[in-house]
Amino acid sequence: MRLSEETGPSRDLQGRRAIITGGGSGLGFIFADALAAAGADVVICGRRAEVIQAAAEQLARHGVAAEGHAFDLSRPEEIDRFKAAVGETDILINNAGYSIRRDSWLEVTAAEWQEVMNINLMAPFLLAQRFVPGMMERGFGRVVNLSSVYGLVGANPDHYPDMASDNTSYVASKHALIGLTKNLALRVAHAGVTVNTLSPGMFVGETRQARTDGVVPGQKTGELLLKEIPLRRFGREADLRGLITFIAGEGSAYITGHTFVVDGGFTVG
C-alpha cells in the first residue's frame, strides 16, 4: 500500500468528511487516498484492525484527520456501533464487497448467498439509513455505491478458465445495488443529497492486481479478459482518483441515480 504522488489540482473537498467502507486496501484505499488528497477528513472501516490502522496513518500524511475503525458491517448491530463511534458524515462511499465462487451455481448454499447479500446489499442500505438523514438535514450529501461491471452484465464463465467460474450471488447483489441506488436517489434528491453508483471493471496496480469482483485471475483468464476490453489494457489508479473526487464534490450536484462505468469499454459490446 502506498500513497499516490498525484494529489490533484486542488483541495476542493476541504471541510468535508468522508466515510469509506473497506478503505484499508484495494480500491477502497485508492478512494480514501484520493478524497484525503482533495482535503476531506476521512473515516475508513474494515474487518482487519491492523490493516485499517496502518491505512489511516498513511492517509493522515495528507494533513487531514484520518480515522480507522474495525467493524463487521455484515451485521446490523455492528453498523449501529459504527455509527455511534463515528457520528455524521458528508460523503459515504459504500465500497466494501464480498464474493463467493463455486464451480456451479447449483453448489451455492443459502447461507453463502445470504452472506454475500449482507455485505454487498444490506450493509449499503443500512449505512444509508444511518448516515443520509443527517446529510438531508444539512442540505448536502454524496452517497457512492460500489457496484461492478457485473452489476450490468452477467459473468461469462468462458472468461475464467483458471478458477471456479460461478459467482451468481455476487452478480445478483451488484445488479440489485444499482437498483437500490436509483430508488434512494429519488427519495433524497429534494434535500440536496445525491446517490450514484461506480462500476469498475478490471484493474491493476500495486493496490489491486489484474482482477474483477475481488478475484486475482491466472494468466489465461487475464489474457481472455484483456481481449474483451476495447482499450486493450487493465484499469489504473488514475482512472478512478479524479472520478471519485468529482462524484463526491460540488461539481456533481446535478447528477444523481447515475452509474459511472469505468471499464475500458468492457460492457459496450
Listed by start position, the domains of the chain span 17-262
Residue 212's pLDDT is 45
CATH code of 17-262, in short, is 3.40.50.720
Give pLDDT, residue 223. Answer: 86
pLDDT at 216: 52
- pLDDT, residue 92, reads 98
Whole-number pLDDT of residue 100: 86
- Indicate if 170 belongs to the active site: yes
> pLDDT at position 220, please?
81
Dist CA 61 CA 2 (whole Å): 11
pLDDT at 2: 46
pLDDT at 1: 46
Answer for the pair 240, 146: CB distance below 8 angstroms, yes or no: no
d(CA 127, CA 75): 11
pLDDT of residue 161: 77
Of 98, 160, 170, 254, the catalytic one is: 170
Grid coordinates of 47: 474487518
User: Which residues are within 8 A (CB) of 194 and not within 5 positions of it... i.e. 6 or more apart?
Assistant: 141, 142, 143, 185, 252, 253, 255, 256
Q: What is the pLDDT of residues 58-68, one digit of tens each?
A: 999 999 999 99
Contact 121, 128 (CB under 8 A): no
Q: Say if residues 132 and 117 touch (Cβ distance below 8 Å).
A: no
Per-residue pLDDT of 216-242, as tens digits, reads 556 788 888 899 999 999 999 999 999
* Mean pLDDT per 10-residue segment, the chain (269 residues): 47 94 94 97 95 96 97 95 97 93 88 95 98 98 97 88 80 97 98 98 59 55 88 92 96 98 94
Residue 166 in contact with residue 105, Cβ under 8 Å? yes
Q: What is the pLDDT of residue 213?
A: 45
Q: Which residue has the cell 473526487?
A: 245
- E-assigned strand segments in the chain: 17-21, 41-46, 66-70, 91-94, 141-146, 193-200, 259-262
pLDDT (0 to 100) of residue 156 = 87
Rg of the chain over Cα atoms, rounded to whole angstroms, equals 18
- CA 195 – CA 92 distance, rounded (Å): 9
